[in-house]
Amino acid sequence: MTTRFVPTHVRSAIEVVATDRDRTASERKAFARFSDRLSEFSVTGTASKTNPPRHTPVQTALDQTSISSSESQIIRVCKLYRETIMDVDHYSEEYGDSLGESISEEFGSETAAALANTNHLTPQLRDRLLEASTRAQKSRHALLQGLKHEHSALQNADETLSELGADLDDILSAQSLQTWPDEELTTTQKNLHERERECNRLATDRQTTLHEQRVPSTHHIDLEFIEYLYRSLPVTYPVLTDITSLADTLRTACDDIDDTLSSRESSHIRSPSASS
């Protein structure tokens, strides 16, 4: 027999999580490369102020600095940022922002302003950049652990739901049920009830996990982990959606068996006894 039920939403979620996991790992490595190379930069004890024009946003000032013809220390930092953090394969698709916008988002507006207002890399500014990069690495690491845990949970859900939804083709065919003996119908109905109870247990466990799970700190996200993670899917809770769908399918099958047995019982009652 073939598998009737396929947890399609769970499988879509697996693809989403796998992609996000790989991208997060790439970003963590990019920040590590940025830190390693930045730590080798020479620094000066004093900063030379080159304030951007009044009313010029920090992001614009940084973008203008990055394309200047002079090879200042700050321009080298900006180039390094482009060559590492902004060079991950998915950067344009996922973010698509400018250098200044990216630095402000990742390292904070104060650090971005400090970069935009000087041509010299002081020890203090380099330390600030290194600290911000370390925080970014840690936040990616925390998010990566959450993604790995979710990926494992999704794979387990896919396997369990596929097993619970296996071999349902004949059971779901009301016409075929008419040919089954009463004993086989009763045994099958008991099995379906057991599967439905297992679905209820899975749903309870999943809801408990969802209540405890939030996005590890990154990019200032404060949404619940699952809402953030599955924002691109048609359903917010793919596991619960597939569990509910399978439970409904099992319940319908049980009802069909009930109808078949009831119909037979009514038929026996209406039939004249053999002794009459």
Residues in the chain, pLDDT under 70: 1-3, 45-71, 173-175, 214-223, 268-276
pLDDT of residue 103: 96
Question: Could you give the CA distance from residue 175 to residue 170 in angstroms, rounded to a whole number?
Answer: 9
Residue 52, both tokens: 């951007």
Rounded Cα distance, 221 and 143, in Å: 11
Torsion 55-57-60-65 (CA) sign: positive
Q: 105 and 96 in contact (C-beta within 8 Å)?
A: no
Give the pLDDT score at 58. 52
Task: Tell me what pLDDT residue 66 has.
Answer: 46
SS3 helix, strand, coil % of the chain, rounded to 5? 70, 0, 30
Residue percentage of the chain with pLDDT more than 70: 81
Tokens 């992001």 sit at which residue?
Answer: 59
Instruction: Give the C-alpha separation, 253 to 4, whole Å.
Output: 12
Predicted local distance difference test score (pLDDT) of residue 168: 82
Given this model, what pLDDT does residue 178 score?
Answer: 80
| Local structure of 118: helix, strand or coil | strand
Output the pLDDT for position 39: 95
